[in-house]
Amino acid sequence: MSATPEFPWKSTIALTAEGRRRRVAVIGAGAAGTMAAIFAAQSGAETVLIERTKDGGRKILISGGGRCNILPAQLDESRFVTDSSPNTLRKIVRSWPLREQIAFFETELGIVLTEETASNKLFPASHKARDVRDGLLALAATCGVRFIPETLVTGIAPHGEQWNLTLDGASTIDADAVIIATGGLSVPNTGSDGTGLRIAGALGHTIHQLYAALTPLIAEPAPFASLSGVSLPVTITAQSMTHTATATGGFLFTHHGYSGPSALNVSHVVVRAPLNSASPAQLFVQWTSLNASDWERALQPHGNRTVLGALRSEMPDRLAHALLDVAQVDPTRSLADLRRQERLTLIETLVRGRLPWTSDDGYKKAEVTGGGVSLADINPKTMESQKHPNLFLCGEILDAFGPIGGYNFLWAWATGRAAGIGAAQSRM
């Protein structure tokens, strides 16, 4: 592809002091790794992309229910979670603005994006995740990236001014720069097993506490098992001794607990609580858009209207029955006969109802890994390690994640691009 003013990094050829093309090895052909390989190659580096599975990009394929929520339609940087410096995180996110990422996919990959306005998400117009994964790998190949599938990197070590990669089967690869893009621990059946985190830790990087994030919550025995399949928008808050998170959005009752974007977006507080304290986190739900004052008015006497009738107008019937049961209010009671204390108890249940839980689905169903390599250990402009020159890290391995809605792909694309360009730069 020809150079354009929008993509100035393509115009230089990465050469070593000996005058040969710079060799870059990217470990992991997921979202971040494939993007890193593309930009390393476009920047002139001789690039190899090493992947343990036979095809790569498996999380891309399963994302968004197979449609791939490629990016958010609008970005709120404050929704990212990290134990590192929020300022460093913002610098990284801003290194490749959302509008430029959109332009890359539509112009470079030829993938038209469409907005799901109700959820503020961008999807490929085809609604096929495979188009995204295949498009990225095809662009990488066009740029000259050599793809090495079904190969596990078991270790990396500095070797003079280069890096030596040990592969399963005892073979090795030498590279001028290495990019670790192996993901975290989430959805292990896609090939994520924490190898990169172990390698980064062994090389002296600080690994902030790891935990499953954006994972469904479990309540056993399930107090709301009869509501399985019921969904509605709610506002949910998770509070622990050390963390608090609030999210508004879709909520789903399951056979064993709770899911949906709002529940997933606060799950990290629930997951982390037992890791940091003996006290479990608490969950509180505002079941509708009505606040306490709104419900005070809604529950005032109105002809022969019953309490159940008042709740039914704002939520699914089955949920109305369940919440009245929790509040111990007779659903057939007329609003005129509702005693003051009953009304106050019911309103508390409706606007700040406790949601019981016992555990979570862990990494098996987590959308992403929380924690990871401290952002203090990388250069936010190039993603180069502060511990070792010519070593770069990107994607889920880093200590940052965002909410449901394309944020984690945005992070993968931005950090992968920065790592690819940085790794290809000559150290002359």
- Tens of pLDDT along 234-284? 999 999 999 999 999 999 999 999 999 999 999 999 999 998 888 999 999
Task: Establish how many alpha carbons lie within 13 A of residue 411's alpha carbon, considering only the half-sphere containing its beta carbon.
Answer: 30
Query: Quick one: average pLDDT of 23-34?
Result: 98
Provide the pLDDT for residue 16.
63
Contact 419/33 with Cβ under 8 angstroms?
Answer: no
- Compute the mean pLDDT over every residue in the chain, rounded to the nearest whole number: 94
Q: Using alpha carbons, select from 98, 104, 139, 94 the residue that is nearest to residue 121.
A: 98
Once rounded to an integer, what is the mean pLDDT over residues 115-136?
Answer: 96
Tokens for 326, please give them. 């929790």
Rounded average pLDDT over 291-307: 96
**Nearest-angstrom CA–CA distance, 104 and 297:** 51
Is the pLDDT score of 11 beyond 70?
no
* Distance linking the first and last C-alpha atoms of the chain: 27
Beta strands 391-393 and 177-180 are: parallel
Q: What are phi and psi of 372, to 5 degrees?
A: 125, -160
pLDDT tops 50 at residue 57: yes
Whole-angstrom Cα distance, residue 93 to residue 74? 13
CB neighbour list of residue 347: distance below 8 Å, 6 or more residues apart:
292, 295, 296, 299
Give the CA dihedral 140, 145, 149, 151, nearest 10 degrees. Answer: -140
Give the neighbor-by-neighbor strand order of the sheet with 153-159: 153-159, 162-167, 172-175
**pTM, to two decimals:** 0.93
What is the percentage of the chain residues whose pLDDT exceeds 70?
A: 95
pLDDT band at 160 (very low <50, low <70, confident <90, very high): confident
Q: Contact, 356 vs 256, CB < 8 A?
A: no
Residues paired with residue 248 on neighbouring β-strands, in sequence order: 235
Q: How confident is the model at residue 191 (pLDDT cuts 50, 70, 90)?
A: confident
95 in Cβ contact with 378 (< 8 Å): no
Residue 25: alpha-carbon gap to chain centroid: 25
Instruction: Give residue 161's pLDDT.
Output: 84
For residue 57, how many other CB atoms are within 10 A of its CB?
26
Lowest mean pLDDT among 74-83, 217-226, 322-331: 217-226
- Is the pLDDT at 8 greater than 50? The verdict is no
What number is the average pLDDT over the span 87-115?
98
